[in-house]
Each structure stands twice: as C-alpha cells, then as structure tokens.
Homo-oligomer: A and B are copies of this chain.
Amino acid sequence: MNTHELIQTLREPATTKIVLLVADGLGGLPVEKGGKTELETANTPNFDALVKDGVCGLSTPVLPGITPGSGPGHLSLFGYDPLEYRIGRGILEALGINFAVGPKDVCIRGNFCTLGADGKITDRRAGRPSNEKNAAAVARLRTIQIPGVELFVEPVREHRFVLVIRGDGLGDAVNDTDPQQVGVAPLKAEGADPASAKTAAVVNEFIAKAVEVLAPEAPTNGATLRGFARMPNIATFEQVYGLKAAAIAVYPMYKGLARLVGMDILDPGQTLQGQVDTLKSVWDKYDFFFLHYKYTDSTGEDGNFPAKVEMIEKLDKVVPQIRALNPDVFIVTGDHSTPSRMKSHSWHPVPTVLAADATCRPDDVATFGERDCLRGGLGQFQGAHLMLLAMAHAGRLGKYGA
C-alpha cells in the first residue's frame, strides 16, 4: 500500500484547518565560518513563539544531497513523492499563467532570443524585453498555423512565453532547443519516440515560421523552447486528503504547482499583506491553505544575505495575523534551502515548525533556526511525510490496523 492509499484508507472527516506557510528557499548557511545563517540572524519573535508552542525539525525534500527545483520541492511539501511524480517545466509554466491544460496538450516554455544575421544566438533573453514588447511578439507568433494541431501562445513576462501544442498522439520526449549558450544556433527538436517525433516536427516548423514573423520585432527575433511536458496523471489534494485546499501565492509557478494538485487558486494581488487578507477572507471556505512567500528565495539567489534576513523578518511580522485565525495546525517551512552564500537552491535540509494546540510533544527548542531545528522533536524527516503529520495533528487520520 502506498502512502496515498494509506491516507485515503485512514482519513476521517473533520472541520479542522491547516495552514502551510512556505518561505521559499528558507534554509541557509552562514557567510563566515562560525557565523549564523540568515534565519538564525533574523529577529523573529513570532516564529520563536510558534516554535515554543510547536515541534521543530528539518525536512529533506527529496533525498540527502539532492537539490530540488521548485517543482519537486513543492510536490514533496504537498505529500507527493518527487521521485515518483515528475512534472515538466512546460506544465508548470502553463499552469502558472492559468492556462487550462488538457489531456491532448504538450506544454513548452518559450524564451525569446536575439538571432544574428547568421542565425546564431547573440542574446538568449533578447535583452529582456518589456512586457509590452513581449505581448507584441506573442501576437505575431499567434499568426502561425500548422495543419493537424492547435497552437496556443501565451505571454509570461520579459523574454518568457508559453507554447501549447494541442493534438492527437503528441509525445513530450523532445529535447530543449535552447543551447544554453550564445554564438550557436538554436538546436533542432528531435523526438525520442514516434509520438514525440510528431511533436518535434511541429516544433521545428513552428520555429522556422517564428523567425519569419518575428523579423520586424528585432532584437526579439527568435525563440527557443524547452521543458516539453504533458499533464501528469496525479490525484488531487482533495482525492488524497479529503481537504478543500486554497493556494494563496503571488508568483505564477507556485500557483501552477498548486493547481496541479487541484487546489483552488486565489488572487491575493502582489503583496504579503494581500495574501494574509485573502487568507482571512476565505478562512471559512477551505480546510487547507497554502501560502507561498517568494522573497526568501529570490534574495538568497541574489546572494544578498542581509536582504534575506530582512525578508524573513518581514514574514515573521504577519505570523500573529495568521495565528489569530486559530489554525488547528500551522506549519512554517520551505521547499528547499537557498543559502545566499551559494546564490542558488541547495540540498541542505529545511527548518520546519509545526504547531498544533494539544498534540505537539514538547522539545527543547525555543528559537527558529537551523541548529535549533536539529534538536527538534520532528528530527530530520522526509519532506513528503510532512502532510501525514499535518493530517494527524489535525485529527484527520484514524488508526492503522486493529
């Protein structure tokens, strides 16, 4: 019996509410030997209060040493084994812009690029065009027609767009056409199987026509494609947990990840306070709330230690508003670590606190930090098991076996 079947067997109806606050890339590293991490440096009285009431630990999203992308990191938090459920980048991009992906669709992430007269790439991001410029280029791509398939081209932002190819018998085992360097031409698409070869043929025709129609838009005069992906067959959050779930995220990628598991996607605007206000306004309508906070990751990616500290402190300040709603289970964690020292995602386990009213066994942890969590009662745990704990502490799981 796998974990989802186990949950489906054991789950019990309840009216309890669970909040999962994901501080993207939360875990960090000290910049200097003997120093503190970003989280340890931050002044977080509200997280610390949560830690005193709850139980802490460190989450390993995939496996020790494995650095997760946003997709696997979130699937793990949602309780889907990221080694079993593999989600292509194209799907994430499409879901993130609210595109209604269907079963005949192959979704692809597109990047506008600049091509020289010789057809070689001179700028992989076409000088990061404005969103208006992006829209103009997308409008030209939308004039392209290819017999036998429907094409959808959708703007994302700057140099990014989404291409969806809809048709019968299309595979997604197609290589990226982005060569990941300048001075060379985009790669030809090739399919690893007959269905994917059909997709590749469409793609190569699309790209050839794109170069024609985009010529007037130079330097936005070319396009590369990557992350070919069809919709995976995945049980929804409600099917697995019996939880009516809302996603309150600002960035498209995280909306897309939440939509993938069937959460309702709410529109909180662009601010953290907007997210909290949205949470309050829908509190009675859902059982589970996924709040995503991006800036702990983006500051980490920028290598900006003090900015990451500041973003953690900013997040800490909204915690009392969330606790005032009296969630039965309140979890704060991240989808992976993003140490500003490394300017990238990393494999380091992620500090996690779970607070529930009466069912947390006390540990001796009193502040929220990596070293603190190491001594916490949750120990070091597999990220995909966090939802089991959430369900248990929410009184939503019955006993296994007599």
Contacts and interface: CB of A to CB of B under 8 A. Distances in A.
A362 B34 CA distance: 7
A298 to B, nearest CB: 16
A94 to B, nearest CB: 12
A148 interface: no
A66 B402 contact: no
Contacts of A388: 63-66
A402 B393 CA distance: 31
A92 B402 CA distance: 9
Contacts of A393: 65
A69 interface: yes
Interface stretch (A161-169, A243-251, A274-282, A372-380): A372-380
Interface string A1-40: 1010010001000000000000000010110011101000
A67 interface: yes
Interface in A316-372: 341-342, 344-348, 358-359, 361-364, 370-371
Contacts of A401: 68-73, 82, 86-87
The number of chain A residues touching the other chain, given as a range, is 35 or more
Interface string A25-57: 001011001110100000000000000010000
B363 A400 contact: no
B227 A66 contact: no
A389 interface: yes
For the residues of A in contact with B, the DSSP-based class is loop
A29 B359 contact: yes
A363 B27 CA distance: 14
Most buried by B among A64, A341, A345, A391: A64
A71 B385 contact: no
A35 B361 CA distance: 10
Nearest to A61: B400
Contact of A375 (B64, B374, B390): B374
Specify which of A89, A362, A385, A397 lies most central, judged by the most chain B CB atoms within 10 Å of its CB: A362
A185 interface: no
A288 B381 CA distance: 29
A285 interface: no
Nearest to A380: B379
A392 interface: yes
A371 B380 contact: no
Given A27-B361, A34-B362, A66-B392, 10 more contacts: A6-B66, A29-B361, A65-B389, A65-B392, A65-B393, A87-B402, A88-B402, A348-B361, A362-B371, A380-B380
